[in-house]
Structure 1
């Protein structure tokens, strides 16, 4: 039985276990659910006994099913690879890998290609046989564990059994597991990027990467090629990222904050009901659409305007990318700031008005300071989106790694270079490819520093208004 039908069987068994456990709890208690003087009064509600029986029946079987499904293909592949003829192994690890790729492809398709090599056909047949046996053993084992768990859970039901405590402990454990997934995933991402970055820094000095002013990651593929030594000075990338992000935030932060203040403090309910959803539509537009808008409309307009006043403007400029990105970030800033401003207690407003302050004075001296931690959080989200944006920069600012502070020239960003370096078939042995991981690690560290600074600001002002 395949995994999906087996999961459906476990689902049906879970429902059956719940009703069976609940029914047995009522039977052993003889209906004494509320009479505290009855000797067979249930410790927990009948539904908890049903949940307890369901946990015993399904949880162990589900764990075995997941582990078997994850480990079995690896063991089967190793067994089949070990059974290949000696001439395949003598040809090297690459030949073994190519043969196993072909074998697994035929096995997953469920049929043997008659035009394939006889060795591959035999290996694929062996693979299918092992997979079928594994499937049968998995089905029998999972069902046996599920039925055994159901019997055990049913047998344990008694008036003294603390079903509620057990169910709540299991639910608590599942919540801890769910919370740990994010931590483990983050740790895995950091370690994977860190290890590849260490490999890069073994070839390219850290000082050259962090302080070099020339970025040209093209390297020679073969030893006999010339002109591809590669330069990995990332300062132009950091400067381009900072320039475009500053332009975008200079547009998004004031406009978004003023829109939030208007919607929360000045707008009528009818106006707010229309304006806020309309403004948030901007957040749902794909970034590629913003990129088209920047490349086809904003960039030509800026170039023509610059030429009209005697300025030299690149066809792909940082200003065009920053302006469009700023428009894209307005909903993030306005929506979050609006929610934070609305969360400020009305008593603060009333107290300010009672002291004779006007609405504008109340906003400047009471509401904005009280909502500052949330506004800083909205700013951080907008800044993170600006730093990590790729598509708009690719289409509007180009790929030129120029070290300049002039917004009218073409620049590129860290994320654009990461995408460029990892596009297509790549070997993760050259400094060119490993540079993408070094860029990602640097970007992660800079974002972490930004978050730490923001947390300090939030903590400082929260203490003032607690």
Structure 2
């Protein structure tokens, strides 16, 4: 039974339990709602939650744990002689997964029976060709060990899914029946439901916190492995970025850090003035109709995917800057440059600055404006000397949040500025030339983790060190922004 059917049955049990709980509560009070401790809906919600919460919790844990457990069991079935030279156990396990999925697809499409898939032998069947006809690409010929591991993996997965279905549905039924049997007019259903909802809210907050901690610790462990193979001083203070999987790598952070900061600075120089002036106009000058139209257009701008911005930079902005500015001024010959990526990224960031600043300016008390106007100041003087200074902490927070977004951008940089790291030894003029091609930390994280990579090599592990560095930078900016915004809110709320 598929996961969708399991969820459908759980929801059906909960729905039936909801109406049954309400009916039982009303029956116990003779149909008099005033004799019930709680509203009838609370009794129904109690039965529904008793069915939903335990079953869905076990289902979520099972779906997380089962793949890890099966992986650890199946990997032991692969002997060392089944791992070819130049391959790894992880790559062999990838083939095991693909073979298992291919066999499942062949059975579901009617190309193989269940018995044929379980009795298939690599010695008599070209498994790679047969699965290739189904669109399952395998890196090498399927050996008997891989096929046997895949067949065992399918059996374990099927058995685990069967047990999961029975246990989860049994929990849903038992939970609903137990809660239904306790339902009567004196039962404090409201108190129980509110405690369960509170526990769910706390659980949601804990999931967010634990997810953040999991991300940080995963990067920390891999970064520790990287620094055990590569000197930390060479990484943090190195001026050359030249990864080489043959073992002669220079993995200096400074070229990538400079490219990241340079492109982000250009983007903010575009986004901050335009976004701030747009926010002042919308909040202080625009009429209701104009404000509605302009806000809608800005929100549309915020909804454009970054890959579309990247294509705009590649085919429009880059060639235009090259033909009309870089080449006539002798500053560059390529359309891929810091200016290209910065301008397009700045356009992307305008809604961030504008929307946040607009909300913050509107939050300034009207009494401050009235007081300034009453003392004889003009409208523009009131904005310059009262409204903007009062909203300045919040505006700074919006700018810092936009800066965090700029630092983490990837697609616009790849298509607009290229993938070449800054040449730190090429002189100050080249480093500050906005028409030179540079790249950022995020781009190199992607490039180091794509293609044929060895996760034990420092050239791959450096991606985690770069990610941790980027995380620390953006975390610091977000903390500063939150502190500033909190100080603003304490002043005016």
| TM-score of the superposed pair, with normalisation by structure 2 | 0.82
- How far 1:381 moved relative to its partner? 2.4
Structure 2 unaligned residues grouped into runs of 5+: 108-113, 128-142, 425-430
Q: Distance in 2 between matches of 1:319 and 1:389?
A: 15
How far apart, CA to CA, are the structure 2 residues paired with 1:47 and 1:428?
54
| 1:202 corresponds to | 228
Which has the larger displacement, 90-99 or 186-195? 90-99
Does 2:26 align with 1:26? yes
1:80 Cα deviation after fit: 5.9
Q: Which runs of structure 2 are paired with 1:11-410 in the superposition (5 Å)?
A: 11-34=11-34, 41-72=35-66, 75=69, 88=79, 91=82, 94=89, 97=93, 100-101=96-97, 104-105=100-101, 108-109=104-105, 110=107, 111=114, 112=117, 113=120, 115=125, 116=127, 128-220=154-246, 229-306=248-325, 310-315=329-334, 316-402=336-422, 403=424, 404-410=431-437
Q: 2:439 aligns with which of 382, 388, 412?
A: 412
CA 1:51–1:119: 2 relative to 1, 3 Å: same
Helix, strand or coil at the partner of 2:33: coil
Instruction: State whether residues 272 and 353 of structure 2, in contact with CA within 8 Å, keep that contact through their aligned partners in structure 1.
Output: yes
Q: Deviations over 1:259-306 (max 9, x none)?
A: 110111111222222222223332233323322332333333333334
Q: Per-residue CA shift, 1:306-345, capped at 9, x if unaligned?
A: 4675432241221222122212211221122112222223
1:88·1:96 contact (CA, 8 Å) conserved in 2?
no
Shifted more, 265-274 versus 167-176: the winner is: 265-274
* Contact 2:97–2:150 under 8 Å retained in 1: no
> Deviation of residue 100 (structure 1)?
4.2
Provide structure 1 residue ranges, at least 5 long, that are not aligned to the other structure.
Answer: 35-40, 221-227
Q: More deviation in 455-464 or 359-368?
A: 455-464
Q: Compute the displacement of 1:134 (Å).
A: 4.2
What is the rounded CA distance, in whole Å, between the counterparts of 1:461 and 1:184 in structure 2? 29
Pair 1:297–1:105, CA change in 2 (3 A): closer
Residue aligned with 1:187, SS: helix
Distance 1:417 1:13, change over 3 A: same
- 2:396 counterpart SS class: helix
State the alpha-carbon separation in 1 of the partners of residues 484 and 145 from structure 2: 67
Compared with structure 1, are the counterparts of its residues 81 and 390 closer, same or farther at alpha carbon in structure 2 (3 Å cutoff)?
closer
| CA-CA distance at 1:90 after TM superposition | 6.2
Structure 1 position 10 matched with structure 2 position 10: yes
Deviation at 1:418, TM superposition (A): 1.3
Give the Å deviation of 1:124: 5.6
Change in CA separation of 1:383 and 1:78 when aligned onto 2, cut-off 3 Å = closer
RMSD: 2.8
Alignment check: 8 A CA contact 1:373 1:462 kept: no
Question: Take 1:237 and 1:98, find their aligned partners in 2: how far apart are those partners?
Answer: 33
Moved more, 295-304 or 126-135: 126-135
* Contact 2:235 2:253 survives alignment (8 Å): yes
For residue 439 of structure 2, give the secondary structure of its aligned residue in structure 1. coil
Shift of 1:136: 4.3
